[in-house]
Chains A and B, each alone.
Chain A
Amino acid sequence: MRITTTRFGCIDVEASDLIRFPSGMPGLEDCREWALLADASNDALGWLQSTTRGDIALAVVSPRRFVPEYQVRIPRSELSPLALADMRQAQVVVVVGQTGTGLTLNLKAPIVINLEARTGRQVVASGDLPLQYELSHERPSLKKSA
């Protein structure tokens, strides 16, 4: 299908790029279908582009590429809507944000994707994890972040 986006112009997406989010996401409840795209210049980055809202896209990364010690504990009740028996069949990405000081990662509410079923959901991970983990060269340990 062909979609019109504000960041990437008109793009063709295959069915195999599409991911269905039956519950949308908090704040983006109406966005139920997304295309997972690779960033052209950055191999650590992907973009979740809404197929229904051309202006809505989320930058996402594999969290352990940036926070090697990140371990997600996701309650079973959060995994069952995705028909995931366990986390091994899942791909986990986190959303990139931005504050006045720089880029951040949302480690508290990762996005879990069932690659085979092409479904996804933003879940709330257990534990004291930051919504805005600051990316910096000092690499703060997870426990010290707010």
Chain B
Amino acid sequence: MLVLSRQRDESIMIGDNIVVTIVDIRGDKVRLGINAPSEIPVHRQEVYEAIQRENLRASRLEPGDTQDIGKFANRGASRPGGDKPR
């Protein structure tokens, strides 16, 4: 890991299009501003990793696992995917 010291209002450049700025420092909390192209997602690490784990778990579901899901649904609302059954 590259470790740099910065003070409030100073910045770090990552690559040629990502800028991280120290917006505020208060006690043990740092507020960071991130300027990055919109196609690069930026998230708190623990949130991103939790979503990764959940997606990987969810990607193992089979149609047999979801066959009873209808009993939790309300009637009449739209469904994803249009009307072509598979």
Contacts and interface: CB of A to CB of B under 8 A. Distances in A.
Interface string A50-65: 0000001111111011
Given A58-B58, A98-B57, A124-B43, A39 B51 contact: no
Interface stretch (B12-20, B22-30, B65-73): B65-73
Contacts of A103: 65-66, 68-69, 72
Contacts of A22: 39
Nearest to A103: B69
A127 interface: no
Nearest to B57: A97
A42 B86 contact: no
Contact of A65 (B57, B74, B84): B74
Nearest to B79: A43
Contacts of A42: 66-67, 69-70
A17 to B, nearest CB: 8
Nearest to A56: B59
A77 B72 CA distance: 33
Contacts of B63: 7, 39, 41, 47, 59
A30 to B, nearest CB: 12
Interface of B: 38-41, 43, 47-48, 50-59, 61-63, 65-74, 77-86
Given A27-B53, A97-B57, A106-B58, 6 more contacts: A45-B70, A45-B80, A65-B74, A81-B38, A96-B61, A109-B51
27 contacts: A26-B51, A27-B59, A37-B81, A39-B81, A39-B86, A42-B70, A45-B66, A56-B59, A59-B58, A59-B63, A59-B69, A62-B77, A62-B78, A64-B77, A65-B77, A66-B72, A68-B74, A77-B38, A81-B39, A91-B80, A93-B80, A96-B66, A103-B72, A106-B58, A124-B43, A132-B54, A135-B69
